[in-house]
Structure 1
Amino acid sequence: MTLQKINTRNTIIILMIVAAGAFRLVSARYPYVLSNFSPIGAMALFGGAYFTDKWKAYVVPLIALFVSDIFLNHFYSGSWQIVDSSSIMVYVFFIAAVFMGTFIKKASILNVTAASLLAVVLHWLLTDLPLGNLYPHTFVGYGQSLVAAIPFEKNMLFGDLVFCAILFGGFELAKSKYTALRANREIAL
């Protein structure tokens, strides 16, 4: 694969992830309509699936998440917070979702939908641990937290499915038209 081909493919993947990350700012503008309708799971899965250099699969989506988090924190709190303690589990989920994306070898509707569903369940289980003061730090508190999160996770599932369709479908369509976007293993087939 030529250097030009690598740069073109990576540039398109990065731009798609950055565009998805920017949508988080749009959804924050309408929190009651788009509450948790977010591309974060799709960004992680997409990066994991398409970057041939796996370190980029983690770094690029994490940077997009981190930068959009800074702006979201400012939007909600009025201060330029880097990261708060409640977002640690979101980053743990995000890294796990990128890892899940590395197992998507062929982007089919079934593979991507299954990965999206698994990512949302993982997000639900990790990010709704009763770590703050809202719920008791017991098994019952965890159950209460999980139940309260169902509407938000439903929106996240819809968001992941929509953004996975856009990211994966868009990139697959682009690959079918432009060979510079194909990986070496795809050209050999």
Structure 2
Amino acid sequence: MKGSALSTEIAEPYAQALMSLAQDRNLTEQFGQDIRALLNLLQNSQDLRLFLESPVVQITDKKAVLERVVGEDSNNYLKRFLLLLIDKRRIVFLEEVCQQYLELLRKLTNTVLAEVTATTELSEEQRQSVAEKVKALTGAQAVEIKTSVDPDLLGGVVIKVGSQVYDASLRGQLRRISLSLSK
């Protein structure tokens, strides 16, 4: 069910409600930072994700764990929103709600998400260079970069922005040469 159209349909109104709350309180960026941290935690801790999604775990236990995970530094409005997801039995859609919120935040701030695949981790200088190229290609004000490593690329990078893919990898260049030679 996760990742399906149904989960998106359920997650979107919650994300929009959270965005509305954040805009009313001028907390859109703070919520964005907290949500990125929460998403990172969920993606790196399968135990936490399974605990929160489990139907056999008591609601009070889920609330206690979630309150400890987000910590005292987290905004009270965001914390109460997360507890509401538990009360409404929508916590299984937490990741989708967070992703939808970040997407709404990107639209609000004219930011694009660039998924960059390279042979090694990018240095700060390389990240800056990629961001400038993506800004020039898309006309966006800012670029959020999500990186992954794929040693099979041999060299270079593959940049995906929305449905557009810019393949500047050595593997991609070799593939294009091979195709032109086979004609």
- TM-score w.r.t. the length of structure 1 is 0.27
Task: Select the structure that is richer in strand.
Answer: 2
TM-score calculated relative to the size of structure 2: 0.28
- Decide which structure has greater helix share: 1
**Structure with larger Rg:** 2
Q: Which has the higher contact order (CA 8 A, sep 6+)?
A: 1
